[in-house]
Structure 1
């Protein structure tokens, strides 16, 4: 993606404008609800229609974008892995950590919800506000073990795309991308160029949709506030706090890797990480934190030949907090809607969260939120409509996402470097 395209997309996804639309929308919905049914019902219908149109515009770009991103990401990762021993070991670490991160999110969020449940009165009010979300399809979509196994391989990939059967579609796309890495270079480059073109076009379209996001989010938030009342604010804060806790858990795991696998003392690692973590919190950008991460790695004794390979790869391919926090969001959506998740739904979500992390790289938070979490929700048989509300508060969890990613990037760099040292 060119720098100009990135700038247009990032500017279109201004998180603070969307957050303001959420707050104002909920507050307006609460006020209209208190004024009586004469105003409430027509206003909710119009607001819901406006929000629904915006949501449909956002959803229509998801499948083409994730297919294009996954093909580009897998082919690019395979090229990097073939480029040297350090690169190959780095990518192996990325795959292991991302998979464990997804499993952690799938286990941690249910545990947090059991220890810190949303007050029942608030939960009921919120479900009333989300009454427009159709749960019937969700209940019918819970697979048995046999159904789940049969659904993994699609008999018709186009039908899978049309029917939002996201897990089999993604597995087919991953297999196709791996096959692309085995064909001759000219044809491989042609195919990658084709999918990169789709990727850039979809990102521009999403940029347009996100530019009008405050209007859509206002409509959805208005309907939520009218149905749930002031309880909607408490539910949003409860969600933000628990998702951030999951992200902080992944950050803590980064310290564990630094101590156990990189061989660093906790005090030394914590001291070296202060500059890159400060940049991460202030910019919410792993790329902007890269120079400070390089400095931290050198202060910790990582050879330049290792850090100069692993850290750029990590910035390009590795989002350690993504699978855990994305899985946590999907589980919370089920909790909001009062849906009890079956084991196969959790398994499907963890598998999809692991895979989805590979196409979330180098995307602004607003875009990666949709393209990473919507497939997880669909794979679990959950509605994606609540995500349009939650995207408005992603500004705060995104701080924890970047903090954890930067911490894990340096920790894994140390682990790869120690493994590469023949004297260790």
Structure 2
């Protein structure tokens, strides 16, 4: 089979963004500690009058970028997916597995995280800021009614994320039926929109140590030591959901890829070490290619599937993003309905096609903000949780890298089962 290389994603051409991750974590810790020291003292109210508006302003800076960023990335991701599907039978087989597993991943997050929180509730005593609206979760009828906007401009103005995402998805699919010149013009427009918004997010995240300090101090004053317990609890539960996805990668390699479990585990270890050190699937591609060779995956298959997987297949994304949004809802005192979970899962599935292969701290708000908005979850918990994303992000990267190589093995095994046709495998 002869297949062209996957089209480079728009996200890979986004300007490099640096985020002060260590300073952000330090800001959270110092804010929480100072908040604990001030809790119950007369000067606490005075301090909150300063930190409250600062934290809110920083969150608004993040929130203002979410809708245009998601529109740009989703449009580019769908166009890239459609172009890849036209590359041949191998691409269509690969995309079939990707789409099916991403749907499973989103469903897993919507089911597993509420169950985990029922078994292991958020530590008591965590209090959300005064004046913060805990939000209203949509019911199943509201979810169905909101799928298509009657006016996309009004929906965007109201921050109704789900109908806007559905509209952008349909718009992107329609653009693939246009002639080359207008199609390329639209693709460049949305690529530019996403790139510019990522730059703005980079600017806002440069102020993350200040914003997170203010939010952490507010949380520390209002919640005391329960806030520290909640953050540790959050990390454990979200990593647990990601671990389930990674384990699924081993199962796919064994049952669909027909590789032995010890052989796959041994071949994956070097790539997983690189994934931990870089926190980037894109930077781990050479190591993944080496792992695929050790497993006997055909050169053509590995060289086609792995770059395509890095572009489109963030296996842990829907599950872990849903887990974060559900946890944020519990922190905000919300009870999520079936309709809210369905809306979140649909957005988690759709937006993963426009996610960026960058460290999770950068893409945290752009990936989870739309899910939270679709579920009616307020944004303020994300402003605190982003500071500790460095730990769950390790699991995201390891899980994605493991699944990418498992995907290559599964596609290679499927090709081996096909009778030789007029197409030749090179």
| Alignment CA distance shift 1:325-1:268 (3 Å) | same
Name stretches of at least 5 consecutive residues in structure 1 with no aligned partner: none
Whether the 8 Å CA contact 1:317–1:361 is kept in 2: the answer is: no
Q: Which residue does 2:397 correspond to in 1?
A: 402
Kindly state the Cα deviation for residue 215 of structure 1 after the two structures are TM-superposed: 0.7
Q: Which residue does 1:237 correspond to in 2?
A: 232
Kindly state the Cα deviation for residue 407 of structure 1 after the two structures are TM-superposed: 0.3
Q: Which residue does 2:423 correspond to in 1?
A: none
| Alignment CA distance shift 1:15-1:359 (3 Å) | same
In the aligned structure 2, how far is the partner of 1:100 from the partner of 1:55? Answer: 31
Matched, 1:74 2:78: yes
Whether the 8 Å CA contact 2:32–2:220 is kept in 1: the answer is: yes
Whether the 8 Å CA contact 1:15–1:366 is kept in 2: the answer is: yes
Residue 106 of structure 2, aligned match among 102, 118, 125: 102
2:121 is paired with a residue whose SS is: coil
In the aligned structure 1, how far is the partner of 2:86 from the partner of 2:113? Answer: 37
1:11-410 to 2 correspondence within 5 Å? 11=18, 13-34=19-40, 36-37=41-42, 39-119=43-123, 123=124, 125-127=125-127, 129-135=128-134, 138-139=135-136, 141-143=137-139, 145-410=140-405
Q: Show CA shifts across 1:351-384 (max 9, x none).
A: 1111121111324312321111111111111111
1:59 is paired with a residue whose SS is: helix
In the aligned structure 2, how far is the partner of 1:182 from the partner of 1:81? Answer: 14
In the aligned structure 1, how far is the partner of 2:395 from the partner of 2:195? Answer: 27
| Alignment CA distance shift 1:391-1:150 (3 Å) | same
Whether the 8 Å CA contact 1:29–1:225 is kept in 2: the answer is: yes
Kindly state the Cα deviation for residue 167 of structure 1 after the two structures are TM-superposed: 0.5
Q: Show CA shifts across 1:10-60 (max 9, x none).
A: x1x2222111110001111111224x12x1111111101111111111110
Whether the 8 Å CA contact 2:122–2:331 is kept in 1: the answer is: no
Q: Pick which of 306-315 and 362-371 moved more.
A: 362-371
In the aligned structure 2, how far is the partner of 1:146 from the partner of 1:290? Answer: 44
2:292 is paired with a residue whose SS is: helix
Q: Which residue does 2:424 correspond to in 1?
A: none
Q: Pick which of 173-182 and 91-100 moved more.
A: 91-100
2:39 is paired with a residue whose SS is: helix
In the aligned structure 2, how far is the partner of 1:346 from the partner of 1:210? Answer: 28
Kindly state the Cα deviation for residue 142 of structure 1 after the two structures are TM-superposed: 2.5
Between the two proteins, the alignment pairs up a number of residues equal to 410
1:60 is paired with a residue whose SS is: helix
In the aligned structure 2, how far is the partner of 1:265 from the partner of 1:107? Answer: 30
Kindly state the Cα deviation for residue 96 of structure 1 after the two structures are TM-superposed: 0.8
Kindly state the Cα deviation for residue 3 of structure 1 after the two structures are TM-superposed: 7.9
In the aligned structure 2, how far is the partner of 1:329 from the partner of 1:377? Answer: 9
In the aligned structure 2, how far is the partner of 1:334 from the partner of 1:289? Answer: 33
In the aligned structure 2, how far is the partner of 1:210 from the partner of 1:392? Answer: 11
Kindly state the Cα deviation for residue 2 of structure 1 after the two structures are TM-superposed: 8.9
In the aligned structure 1, how far is the partner of 2:29 from the partner of 2:288? Answer: 36
In the aligned structure 2, how far is the partner of 1:397 from the partner of 1:42? Answer: 34
Whether the 8 Å CA contact 1:246–1:328 is kept in 2: the answer is: yes
In the aligned structure 2, how far is the partner of 1:203 from the partner of 1:402? Answer: 20
2:353 is paired with a residue whose SS is: coil
TM-score, scaled relative to structure 1: 0.94
Whether the 8 Å CA contact 1:70–1:174 is kept in 2: the answer is: yes
In the aligned structure 1, how far is the partner of 2:65 from the partner of 2:145? Answer: 27
Kindly state the Cα deviation for residue 423 of structure 1 after the two structures are TM-superposed: 5.5
In the aligned structure 2, how far is the partner of 1:44 from the partner of 1:284? Answer: 35
In the aligned structure 2, how far is the partner of 1:3 from the partner of 1:319? Answer: 14
